[in-house]
């Protein structure tokens, strides 16, 4: 057996343990009886320990050293080189963090999440504050341990968007904001209104499930290799190379929650299902970054699912499923309703324009927290000020403000920007697909989603981690990350919906 093969087998087995853990977490969030929670946490902790041991072991160090000999001089984007390079990268990052710090971060994250649940319920930020303060100290310590280019935040961002750096993202986001804010103002001052009330009619859960299954299947989520279930906070997860689980939640008096949620998660799922299954668990068969992952969900949710041709195709099917709720409406009205724009307090309910403003606020605040220019105690005030300044609204209480998201309580600083990176990437990829596929709009209006899905698979999914996200976007579109495709798309859509 070659050293490379030995390394690959080892990495694959570690991934298998991770997929076991994913199965436990899927169950926890879908079907697990309530009293089972504490033992489930122990099971997941046990597996995490085994996985961490394997990922930082001297056995792995030896396998890596030997395999590096095997790939000397091979092209960097080939599979073998990618397996060694990415495994080395993870090994170095993990072994630089002391075991004590790993455990403290895990513990503080678990306690922090519990505190967050209660703090949000009580709308009392002070209940979360001490955990957040501790998280920031621990994450700064972690950043120092792993090292960074120019600021602490670089090290955190790298966990979710490997190879990206804070300065570049800040520049992109800043120019994005400069264009989104005036676009939002033009929409708000338009006399035209989107008929959002048709989405607030009665949509029975059972029928919503049928519509979601139909749409997910239609765009190409493979139900022989996946499932759709109900949960509180929807997610997509992989339990194996042919086992992708997506989830949603139903609101009988609002159509969009489940429908676009399902398209979104199906988009993540189509990415996972498009990875190279023969390399499952190895870097060339794994998603490259959270931003790229998010680009796939946003592309199907927004660029396909909220497009006029999609509704031309889907509306007759929707009518058959919801004869009552769709009465007196049209494809065009649905297209306009699902693209309604209005500043609101809650990120996960935001429209395509303001969503990115929600993210930019968080991205700025978390940098300030991390470089200690903002005290945790002052975070709620800073949050509210920023919302007033950017979106013109102020949360009535912290539950709908600074406490709305789980991320910070679980120490996931550096995650938020990947959502807007995903929006930008989605638009940039979609524009290229339109160029490459010719009549994409026509295809969508005829319900032909396969050419697009195959394009995405070939261009993005099957490349796994052979390229960084920055390399990938250049390779696929010939350009670096750009705000133009997203903005051009939004300007055009706002013209169609609001006549601005």
Applying CB under 8 A, among 4, 5, 23, 221 the residue interacting with a second copy is 23
In whole angstroms, the minimum distance from the beta carbon of 338 to a second copy comes to 29
Q: Which of 5, 9, 31, 197 binds a second copy (CB under 8 A)?
A: 31
The three-state secondary structure class of 181 is helix
Distance of closest approach, residue 237 Cβ to a second copy, in angstroms = 13
Q: From the list 40, 77, 85, 88, which residue makes contact with a second copy (rule: CB under 8 A)?
A: 40
How many C-beta atoms surround the C-beta of residue 51 within 10 A? 17
Site for a second copy contains 2 (CB under 8 A): no
Residue 206: CB atoms within 10 A of its CB come to 10
Residue 390 in contact with residue 361, Cβ under 8 Å?
Answer: yes
Cβ at position 464, least distance to a second copy in Å: 18
Using CA atoms in the order 16, 17, 20, 26, what is the torsion angle rounded to 10 degrees? -100
Of the chain, the end-to-end C-alpha distance in Å amounts to 65
The CA distance from 420 to 343, in Å, is: 17
Structure tokens that stand for 238 in this block: 């992989």
Distance of closest approach, residue 244 Cβ to a second copy, in angstroms: 8
The residue count for binding a second copy (CB under 8 A) is 34
Q: Helix, strand, or coil here: 305? A: coil
Phi, psi angles (nearest 5°) of residue 248: -150, 180
51 near a second copy (CB under 8 A): no
| 265 labelled catalytic | yes
Burial 357-395 (b: 16+ CB within 10 A, else e): bbbbbbbbbbbbbbeeebebeebbebbbebbeebbeeeb
CB of 45 to a second copy, least distance (A): 10
Binding positions for a second copy, 383-442, rule CB under 8 A: none
Q: What character string, x for contact with a second copy (CB under 8 A) and - otherwise, covers 238-257?
A: -xxxxx--------------
Q: Which of 9, 13, 149, 327 binds a second copy (CB under 8 A)?
A: 13
The region that residue 6 occupies, defined by phi over 0 for left and psi between -120 and 50 for alpha, beta otherwise, is alpha
Tell me whether residue 46 or residue 348 sits nearer to a second copy (CB atom).
46
Report CA-CA distances (Å) from 78 to 109, 152, 288: 37, 32, 15
Work out which of 27, 210, 252, 434 binds a second copy, going by CB under 8 A. Answer: 27
229 sits near a second copy (criterion: CB under 8 A): yes
Only one of the segments 84-92, 207-215, 235-243, 419-427 lies at the binding site for a second copy (rule: CB under 8 A); that segment is 235-243
The least distance separating a second copy from the CB of residue 245, rounded to whole angstroms, comes to 8
What's the rounded Cα separation, in Å, for the pair 368 and 284?
35
User: Considering beta carbons, is residue 244 or 411 the nearer one to a second copy?
Assistant: 244
- Where do we find the tokens 């041709």? 309
For a second copy, what does the binding mask look like between residues 286 and 315, x meaning CB under 8 A?
------------------------------
Please state, in angstroms and rounded to a whole number, the distance separating the CA atoms of residues 21 and 52.
Answer: 12
Per-residue x/- track, 204-223, a second copy (CB under 8 A): ------------------xx
Residues tagged active-site: 265
Name the site residues for a second copy (rule: CB under 8 A). Answer: 13, 16-17, 19-20, 23-24, 27, 31-36, 38-40, 42-43, 46-47, 222-227, 229, 239-243, 280
């Amino acid at each position: 057996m070659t050293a490379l093969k030995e390394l690959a087998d080892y990495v694959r087995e570690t991934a298998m343990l991770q997929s076991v853990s994913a199965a436990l977490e899927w169950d926890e969030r879908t079907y697990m009886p309530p009293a089972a929670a504490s033992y489930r946490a122990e099971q997941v902790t046990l597996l995490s320990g085994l996985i961490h041991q394997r990922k930082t072991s001297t056995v792995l160090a030896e396998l890596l050293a030997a395999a590096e000999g095997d790939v000397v001089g091979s092209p960097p984007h080939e599979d073998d080189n990618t397996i060694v390079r990415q495994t080395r990268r993870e090994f170095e990052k993990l072994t630089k963090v002391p075991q004590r710090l790993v455990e403290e971060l895990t513990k503080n994250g678990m306690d922090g999440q519990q505190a967050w649940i209660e703090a949000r319920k009580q709308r009392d930020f002070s209940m979360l504050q001490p955990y957040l303060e501790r998280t920031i100290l621990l994450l700064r310590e972690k950043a120092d341990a792993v090292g960074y280019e120019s600021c602490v935040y670089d090290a955190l961002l790298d966990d979710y968007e490997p190879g990206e750096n804070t300065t570049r993202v800040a520049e992109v986001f800043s120019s994005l904001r400069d264009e989104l804010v005036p676009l939002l103002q033009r929409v708000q001052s338009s006399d035209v209104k989107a008929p959002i009330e048709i989405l607030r009619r009665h949509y029975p859960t059972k029928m919503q499930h049928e519509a979601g299954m139909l749409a997910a299947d239609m765009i190409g989520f493979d139900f022989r290799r996946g499932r759709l279930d109900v949960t509180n906070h929807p997610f997509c997860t992989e339990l194996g190379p042919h086992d992708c689980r997506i989830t949603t939640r139903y609101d009988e008096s609002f159509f969009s929650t489940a429908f676009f949620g399902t398209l979104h998660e199906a988009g993540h799922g189509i990415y996972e299902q498009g990875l190279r299954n023969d390399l499952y668990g190895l870097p060339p068969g794994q998603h490259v970054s959270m931003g790229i992952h998010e680009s796939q969900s946003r592309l199907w949710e927004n660029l396909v699912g909220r497009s006029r041709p999609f509704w031309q195709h889907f509306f007759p099917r929707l009518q058959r499923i919801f004869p009552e709720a769709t009465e007196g409406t049209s494809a065009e009205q649905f297209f306009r309703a699902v693209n309604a724009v209005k500043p609101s307090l809650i990120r996960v309910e935001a429209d395509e324009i303001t969503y990115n403003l929600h993210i930019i606020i968080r991205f700025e605040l978390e940098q300030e927290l991390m470089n200690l220019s903002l005290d945790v105690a002052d975070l709620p005030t800073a949050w509210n000020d920023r919302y007033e300044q950017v979106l013109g609204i102020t949360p009535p209480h912290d539950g709908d403000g600074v406490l709305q998201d789980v991320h910070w309580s679980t120490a996931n600083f550096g995650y938020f920007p990947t959502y807007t990176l995903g929006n930008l990437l989605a638009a940039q990829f979609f524009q290229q697909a339109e160029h490459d596929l010719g009549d994409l709009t026509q295809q969508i209006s005829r319900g032909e989603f396969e050419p697009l899905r195959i394009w995405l698979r070939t261009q993005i999914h099957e490349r796994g981690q052979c390229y960084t996200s920055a390399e990938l976007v250049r390779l696929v579109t010939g350009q670096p990350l750009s705000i133009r495709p997203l903005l051009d798309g939004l300007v055009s859509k706002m013209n169609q919906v609001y006549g601005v």
